[in-house]
Copies of this chain bind each other. A is one copy, B any other.
Amino acid sequence: MKPSLYLLPALLLCSMKVIAQQRPPSISSPEVHPDHSITFKYFSRKAQKVTLNGEFLKAPVALMKDTSGIWSVTVPPVKADIYPYSFSVDSVQVADPNNTYIFANERFKRSIVDVPGDQPLVHSLQNVPHGKISYRYYKSATLGMTRQLLVYTPPGFNPNGKTKYPVLYLIHGGSDTEETWTKVGRANLIADNLIAQGKAKPMLIVMPYGNVRPAPMPDFTKDMVADIVPFIEANYPVIMESKGRAVAGFSVGGGQTLNIGLTNPSTFAYICSYAPYTATEEFQKNFANWTPDAAKINSQLKLFTVSVGTDDFLYEPVKKNIAMFEDKKIKLKSYIVPGGHTWMNCKQYLATTLQELFN
């Protein structure tokens, strides 16, 4: 027998009909080098122009083609973090075909590159006990459908034990999905690491799907309070009081967090809003002419934070909302940090506020 037969790499196979079609060569992309420079590759014999657009770049950079049709570029060392990127192939935006790490999103397909730190970062996979992420279905009476949500349970979690856990309800951004907080935000690893260091309390993190279109946005508030929280409390050993419930979210989810949390302070004692988008009918209805009993709300809430980056395109409206809440005497802790409206920032907002929950 010819050895070459056995060297036919499994790589060249795929589990579909396209197997019979001509397959591109095996490519490893992205490759993060020890100095934090990164090589990106894309295969196309036909393309005229391939560029890389990454959130670690100020502007797209061009890839160069070799004689075999492999386009590549190596970018100079970048700061350790997790970054979204995509290719533009003759002006068509594509995710990296050779990278399984996809940005979970409804409106675009981008890939993710993880540049590890010289020291492990708060979102890195470290040698610590790991919790589990469970994909579950729940029935939403509000929306009249069965929906999926993700539940992080911490290391050592015992569903039948005597320990009652607090729960963080964590909402993604506007066109994200219930998977974005784990796939891009690494919420599970951030929790694993902070719990291992004793910096965060062991807790459940529930990640629902916040988009309810074509239903009106306030239906998600109802879904959260009337369907999601009861589902979790019926199925997990959790603290069934406001002091054991937190709600947090990013961007559109940050706005939803304010709507859900501040209209239900007897349900959630912790509210953490990350770069909230608030130009919604629901927010206007709730807060344009809000006359809160501030003393009461302040006594109900154990923590209310608003985070935003100074380069965030929502920086000005977020500052206005912070001022609005302060004007109404609502006690609030604001985290104004460098950076933009990115998941790089968002992970830091979570890592910071996770340490303040359920203390």
Contact = CB atoms under 8 A, between A and B. Distances in A.
Interface residues on A, range: 35 or more
A127 B172 CA distance: 27
A10 interface: yes
Interface stretch (A71-79, A96-104, A329-337): A96-104
Contact of A107 (B97, B173, B281): B97
23 contacts: A1-B288, A6-B281, A8-B279, A10-B211, A11-B107, A11-B174, A13-B173, A14-B175, A16-B173, A16-B342, A20-B313, A46-B91, A90-B90, A93-B94, A94-B94, A94-B109, A95-B109, A98-B107, A100-B104, A130-B137, A135-B188, A158-B159, A159-B159
A250 B15 CA distance: 8
A342 B24 CA distance: 19
A176 B19 CA distance: 13
Contacts of A23: 107
A217 interface: yes
Contact of A340 (B14, B17, B217, B250): B17
B125 A136 contact: no
A84 B100 CA distance: 16
A15 B343 contact: yes
A108 interface: yes
A266 interface: no
Given A15-B175, A158-B160, A10 B92 contact: no
Contacts of A213: 9-11
Interface string A147-169: 00000000000111000000000
Contacts of A16: 55, 84, 173, 341-343
Q: Is the interface of A mostly helix, strand, loop or mixed?
A: loop
A190 interface: no
A305 interface: no
Interface of A: 1, 5-11, 13-20, 23-24, 26, 44, 46-47, 55, 84, 89-95, 97-98, 100, 102, 104-109, 125, 127, 130, 132-137, 146, 158-160, 172-177, 180, 182, 188, 211, 213, 217, 250-253, 277, 279-281, 284, 288, 313, 340-343, 346
Contact of A1 (B125, B160, B217, B284): B284
A23 B296 CA distance: 42
Given A108-B97, A134-B132, A279-B6, A13 B47 contact: no
Contact of A10 (B130, B132, B277, B342): B277
A307 to B, nearest CB: 14
Contacts of A277: 10, 13
B100 A106 contact: yes
Contacts of A106: 98, 100
Contact of A136 (B55, B105, B132, B175): B132
Contacts of A127: 146
